[in-house]
Structure 1
Amino acid sequence: MNARKALAAAAAFVALACTATPAAARDADPVPEQSGLTITVPASVALGAAAPHGNASAQLGTVRVSDNRGLGAKNWTASVTTTTFTTGTATALETIPKSAILYWSGPATITSGTGIFSPGQATANDAVTLDVQRTAFTRTGVSGNNSASWRPTVRVNVPDTAVSGTYTGRLTHTVL
């Protein structure tokens, strides 16, 4: 009997993968390249595997905003959104909703230029669900070229009803 329970539990594990994209690759109104305000993101990350009612998390890699608008530079805000995570044909049992996907930016890993660089969520205790667009990082202050990098973490809480499979989702970072 214990062997059957262990086998059933193992079969219920799901693998989670996340792909990140910059705003210019996805948004209808991307920040034009010639504006001097750009964002770069890591390509993808495997979040690991988790059983239903468990969770998996990983750092995405470095996200970087570069503001080369010079003396005319203004404040900027980097935001993050996500799709649902799905497997198979994305039925209700094959979908992890946005409300089960958490994000925190963590502190800046590198900054340059002047101004105040502020993480949207400095620690895991500040994590927010991605059921709506969230602020990932901001820069305020005097004008001039500047940049900031951070290594956000994503945690996916797997619903009790999730079926086994490889779930994928897409995070999109934008900067304005």
Structure 2
Amino acid sequence: MFDKIRQLVFGSNNLVASRDINYYNPHPIRFYEKDIKEVIDCFSQEVVEIVGIVTECNDFYRPNIEEKNELNNLTHEYFEHIKSNSLIYFEKISEFLNDRRNEIFLSKYLTTARELNNKIVSNRTDFVYFDKIFDAVYSYIVEKDNYNICFDKELIWVFLHYMYWNCDIGVKYDKTS
């Protein structure tokens, strides 16, 4: 009797057939999220008012944003959300990251962006829309810290959107042309 209960609760330990192993992985995009949290935390403490809109990018390889959205399969609705909720922060983020006093944060930002972009490329087929990549990364950052983040969690979205807008994550050009 005890063996049947144990088998129901713990399975039959049939490891060869992998029937009793649960491989559920809610976050296919994992990365060292502490650096970007530190950058966002410092940014949130230093910047009191956030104004200004970035209208141009100096990246020679950056496509126009509509082309980038198409290449990355970002929905029009999500892009409109980025424009209405995050775009106003981008100039201040650029100023913050390019300030000589924040070189360590720029380094952490760039390291995170490269690592995250590599993870996105590796797992891109798991996501039809880039919108879902934003959601997976945001959830990973917040859940990894058990929701104990000491700054406004909205800034995580803003920084992820900034990374995308700035072409630090996502496809920049059509590799088939």
**Normalised TM-score (structure 2):** 0.26
Q: TM-score, normalised by structure 1?
A: 0.26
Give the number of the structure whose alpha-carbon radius of gyration is greater.
2
Q: Specify which structure has the higher proportion of strand.
A: 1
